[in-house]
C-alpha cells in the first residue's frame, strides 16, 4: 500500500461524532453520499518521503445501515465501530490477490473481510 485513502466508522449518532472529530481536527465536515458525514484530511506533501505528493485521506462516519453500501457484508457488532480501512496500492492489487485470501469486490477495490483482518475490513484500492 502506498497511501491511506479512507477510514470508515459507524456511529449511532453520525452528526454528533462528526462534529466532535471536526472540532478535534479543526476541519469542517460535510454530508457523505452513503449516509452520514465525512471529513477530508488534506495531507501534506513530503509526509511519506521527500518526493511524496500531498495525499488526502477521507474520514467517513456513517450510519450503521449504510456500511453495506461501502463495505459489502460488513455489520457493526457494536457502536461506535471502526468498520474499515481503505489503502491505495501501486500494483493493481496484485499482491493482495497473490495472498490467496477470500476477497470481496467493493465499489472501491478488493476487501479482506473483518474476520480475516483483525476486526475491521481492509480494502485495497488500485
Each residue of 80-91: b (16+ CB within 10 Å) or e?
Answer: ebebbbbbbbee
- Give the CA dihedral 109, 114, 98, 86, nearest 10 degrees: 40
Q: Which parts of the chain sit beneath pLDDT 70?
A: 45-49
Residue 47: the pLDDT is: 64
What is the rounded distance in angstroms from the CA atom of residue 71 to the CA atom of residue 94?
20
Are the C-beta atoms of 43 and 59 separated by less than 8 Å? no
Q: How many Å separate Cα 40 from the centre of its chain?
A: 12
Enter the pTM of the model.
0.90
All residues at 6 or more sequence positions from 28 whose CB lies less than 8 Å from its CB, including other chains = 22, 39
Tell me, what's the pLDDT at 48? 63
Do strands 36-41 and 57-62 pair parallel, antiparallel, or not at all (unpaired)? antiparallel
Q: Report pLDDT for 46.
A: 64
State the pLDDT at residue 1: 73
pLDDT in tens, 46-58: 666 677 777 889 9
| CA distance linking residue 61 with residue 37, whole number of Å | 5
Domains, the chain: 3-44+54-125 (2.60.40.4320)
Amino acid at each position: 500500500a502506498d497511501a491511506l485513502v479512507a477510514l470508515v466508522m459507524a456511529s449511532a449518532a453520525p452528526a454528533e461524532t462528526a462534529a466532535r472529530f471536526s472540532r478535534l481536527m479543526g476541519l469542517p465536515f460535510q454530508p457523505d453520499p452513503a449516509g452520514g458525514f465525512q471529513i477530508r484530511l488534506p495531507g501534506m506533501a513530503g509526509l511519506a518521503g521527500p518526493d511524496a505528493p500531498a495525499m488526502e485521506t477521507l474520514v467517513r462516519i456513517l450510519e450503521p445501515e449504510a456500511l453495506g453500501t461501502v463495505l459489502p457484508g460488513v455489520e457493526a457488532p457494536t457502536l461506535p465501530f471502526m468498520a474499515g480501512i481503505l489503502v491505495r496500492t501501486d500494483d493493481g492489487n496484485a499482491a493482495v490477490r497473490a495472498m490467496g485470501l477470500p476477497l470481496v469486490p467493493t465499489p472501491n477495490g478488493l476487501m479482506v473481510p473483518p474476520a480475516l483482518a483483525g476486526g475491521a475490513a481492509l480494502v485495497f484500492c488500485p
